[in-house]
Amino acid sequence: MDKKTIKNILAELPFTVELDWILRHKSQPAGRFALKNLQANLPDIMDQIKPFADDASKKTRQPKKIFIFATLHYWIEQATLLGLALAAKGHKVTLAYLPYGEWDKPLSRFDLRRQNIYARQILQNTSPYMKTVSLLDVHPYLQPLPPDLAPIIEQVTRYDVQYTLQDEQVDSTCDLYHLREERNQSAARSALTWLKAHRPDVVIVPNGSIQEFGVVYRVARYLNIPTVTYEFGDQRDRIWLAQNSEIMRHDTDAFWEARKALPISDAEMERMQNLFSARQQAIIWENFARLWQGAPAEGAEQARGRLGLDARPVALLATNVLGDSLTLGRQVFSKGMSDWIERTVQYFAGRKDLQLVIRVHPGESLTHGPSMVDVVQKALPKLPEHIHLIGPLEKINTYDIVAVADIGLVYTTTVGMEMAMNGIPVIVTGQTHYRQRGFTFDPASWNSYFEHLDRLTDHPMQHRLSREQTRLAWQYAYRFFFDFPRPFPWHLLSLWSDFKEYPMSSVLSPEGSAQYDQTFKYLSGSPLDWKTIDQDSATRAQ
């Protein structure tokens, strides 16, 4: 009998895992599930929040019952800081968790139980200010999931497979699909059981689109419980927030309706130009923490020369990274991004009066799924001379191509918005946040798409954006980059270095409250009021 079989047998016996834990004095379970930083900092954190929590308990007349969910060790650490901060502001917080270290690899029940003990041992030290509960310890809802909920959970499973394999095609018979289906179904039943029994005032969930995060979000909405989702982007000291919506969908309808009447000032225009320049030149700027290009800009003429472009009109098709959570479920009329690209390159194959440049996202160099290069080559095994394909590893700056483009074609990439900022007519084919904002062309069917292509490519200069449309694109871009993200001290990717710079005592102090209190109120369910938010409140990054 092998070791794996023995562990599976022992996992089903009462107290065997607990006994193993005690006898071996494990400091942490096997695998990647480690809460070392939280464990090291928690005693000091509890000391720091005590005076604030004790004071808030006397002053808060109607504390909210807040349920926060997290899984994966790094999100659990981040959610613990968030939960303790809200508890220190007088709310009754419960942190629910699932002790997984990885979402895409199977874990024996023995090791899962061991990780559960480990997490419980550390997180119980957040008492008395915050309650914690493992959803593994919740006696689950055993009936079939409600008819309205079951297909939604299955959709999350499909997203999980697309996200993990970075492939729009999903094989529902593969091991990964079965793994994600089992975990999502289990999480749905446990969350449904707990939320129905305790009925919190608000549920807070990171991401809200994929994995167990997406499951808990959908269960909360099914129960009609107010729900907040959040995520982190490129900016330190900032957080994205959505209420009763998946934050990764970046639904900016209400935000833009409230902010579009605010004209962009000269100072704001200058700041946006500085950001745009940094993106072009591949340099770090302000509190943005990553580069957008692998090579600095060289200029439009150099790009023309390197690609062999002539005087014919140029269409730039900029792709997304396949399977990115900003592309999942974003199709408008196509089956997905691959389908749109295939039909688009076939269209241009017959338009020798034009030139098409396909810029595959540089981020593909960090992925393992199918490349858009493969999609293009499948559609056109031999590219005609007027179609140019730039792979993810090629050191060509996207903004140099933008400078020579006459029209733009995008799915959801931000490059579409940036092309509009240059006055270029852009056709948007996916459901992205800047669609239908007054400066893009937004077909809702294949017929409409090809009609737009015909019209714009026949006379591209006649369709250049007006000065007003171009300025509107700059205005929207500024609001999206600088008003839409809200101040928040602890970014997921730099959590403990941020916490060292902004400890709990600093964040909860009068100065910290002036900076972050409104964000914590939004997180705890106070309605987002985009009309009254301060613009660029206390930007420490400058």
Using CA atoms, how far apart are residues 454 and 409, in angstroms rounded to an integer? 13
Tell me, rounded to whole angstroms, the distance of Cα 35 from its chain centroid.
23
User: For 3-252, CATH number?
Assistant: 3.40.50
User: SS3 for 490?
Assistant: coil
Maximum Cα–Cα distance for the chain, whole Å?
A: 78
The angle, 0 to 180 degrees and rounded to 10, between the axes of the packed helices 150-165 and 211-222 is 160
What pLDDT shows up at residue 452? 97
Dihedral of alpha carbons 259, 262, 266, 267, sign: negative
How much is the pLDDT for 11?
A: 53
Over range 121-126, report the average pLDDT.
Answer: 96
Whether pTM exceeds 0.85 = yes
Would you say 103 and 10 are in contact if contact means Cβ atoms under 8 Å apart? Answer: no
Stronger pLDDT, 244 or 400, i.e. the higher one: 244
User: Other C-beta atoms within 10 Å of 341: how many?
Assistant: 24
542 vs 521: CA distance, rounded Å: 25
Residue bearing tokens 């689109």: 209
How far apart, in whole angstroms, are the C-alpha atoms of residue 115 and residue 102?
12
Which residues have CB under 8 Å from 325's CB, separation 6+? 159, 163, 207, 209, 210, 248
Three-class secondary structure assignment of 280-305:
HHCCCCCCECCCCCCCCCCCHHHHHH
Regarding beta strands 238-243 and 227-231, do their DSSP bridges make them parallel or antiparallel, or are they unpaired? antiparallel
Q: Which fold has domain 259-483?
A: Rossmann fold (3.40.50)
- pLDDT tens string 19-30: 565 555 555 655
Alpha carbon dihedral 401, 404, 405, 406, in 10-degree steps, equals 180
H or E segment to which residue 50 belongs = helix 36-59
Q: Is the per-residue pLDDT at 278 higher than 90?
A: no
| Distance separating alpha carbons of residues 78 and 327, to the nearest angstrom | 25
By three-state DSSP, how is residue 497 classified? Answer: helix
Does 132 have pLDDT greater than 90?
Answer: yes
Q: How far apart are CA 233 and CA 330, in angstroms?
A: 19
For residues 361 and 318, the answer to whether their CB atoms sit within 8 Å is yes
Among the ranges given (52-61, 101-110, 299-308), the one the predictor scored with the smallest mean pLDDT: 52-61
Confidence of residue 410 (pLDDT cuts 50, 70, 90): very high
% of the chain exceeding 90 in pLDDT: 74
In the predicted structure, residue 228 carries a pLDDT above the cut 90: yes
Q: How confident is the model at residue 291 (pLDDT cuts 50, 70, 90)?
A: very low
Identify the pLDDT of residue 283: 62
User: Positive or negative CA dihedral for 11, 144, 325, 170?
Assistant: positive
| pLDDT tens figures, 439-498 | 999 999 999 999 999 999 998 999 999 999 999 999 999 999 999 999 999 999 999 999
DSSP for 100-139, please give it. Answer: -S-SSS---HHHHHHHHHHHHHHHGGGTTTEEEEEGGGS-
Segment holding 68, helix H or strand E: strand 65-71
Compare 485 and 54 and report the one with higher pLDDT.
Answer: 485
Query: Which residue from 432, 346, 427, 333 is spatially nearest to 384, judged by alpha carbons?
Result: 346
Q: Mean pLDDT across the stretch 375-402?
A: 91
Q: Which two tokens stand for residue 475?
A: 């205005």
For the chain, give every domain's residue range: 3-252, 259-483
